Amino acid sequence: MAPPETAGYQFNHTMIRVKDAKESIAFYTDVIGMEVISEYHNNDAKFSLYFLAFDHSDGKDTKEEKDSGRMRREGMLTSALGCPIPISRGHLAISVDDIQAACERFERLGVRFQKRLTDGKMKNIAFILDPDGYWIEVVPKNFS
């Protein structure tokens, strides 16, 4: 059981470093279905942050509402451009309604796979690669 002091904690975001913001944003918006909800550019330190998330408001939230609420969201992806990219062994994960259909779509879009549904013993998960080589685990929503 978690300590009672942490009862209000929630996951806020994951930050990854990217080589090419335009390429990575296209991947996460066009392939994964996230949207850029906010950007921050620090010209003095020569870096930019791009905040991406899934829109669960059915398009009702305005850009201003998304931007002002970005640090209250759960499960947001932050991409940093201008920082060195370390070797990473972790991964991101997304849940999909129909994993077979999602993987077929990724194939059509030319997305690179680290593990297809047909690979290995676990036939109900796949791993795709983003433009920087980060692994993205794809699991069905009813995965247990």
Mind telling me the catalytic residues?
A: 137
User: CA–CA separation, 76 vs 92, rounded Å?
Assistant: 11
In DSSP notation, 90-121 reads: -EEEEEES-HHHHHHHHHHTT-EEEE-TTSSS
Q: Where are the alpha helices (DSSP H) in 14-73?
A: 21-26, 63-68
66, 58 Cβ separation under 8 angstroms? no
